[in-house]
Amino acid sequence: MMAATAPTTVQAPAAAPRNKTVRVWLWLPLTPLFWLLAPLVLILAPLLWLAPPRVRPRNPYVLVLALGRLLLSLGGTVVDVDTPDTLIRIRIF
């Protein structure tokens, strides 16, 4: 005759606290994209003359070139987002 044994239960191990942070590095090559889109923007600049006179620039090409200079100056910008679990670094070049 076999002796009755108590049913055994298996418990999952408790989750250990995470001490490691996840690091994510992203490189965004926007400067080549801006160079590729520049001719298209220069071709479409005269369409700004269709805007109402209050919001229309005097010379749309000056506006387009100024915006292009602003966007190209973003090269080398590093954006760091730091949370308790993750460190995200975005480098714009």
What would the pLDDT profile of 70-83 be if each residue is shown by its tens digit?
Answer: 888 888 899 999 88
**Model pLDDT, residue 80:** 92
Of all residues in the chain, what percent carry a pLDDT higher than 70?
80
**Model pLDDT, residue 40:** 93
62 or 14: which carries more pLDDT confidence?
A: 62
**Model pLDDT, residue 23:** 85
Mean pLDDT computed over 21-44: 88
Is 26 within 8 Å of 91 (Cβ atoms)?
yes
Is 79 within 8 Å of 24 (Cβ atoms)?
no
Q: Rounded to whole angstroms, how far apart are CA atoms 59 and 41?
A: 14
Domains of the chain, by residue range, sit at 22-92
Query: 70-79, long-range: CB within 8 Å, 24+ apart, which pairs?
Result: 71/30, 71/34, 72/31, 72/34, 74/30, 75/30, 75/31
Whether pLDDT at 68 is above 80: yes
Q: Rounded to whole angstroms, how far apart are CA atoms 2 and 14?
A: 35
**Model pLDDT, residue 6:** 63
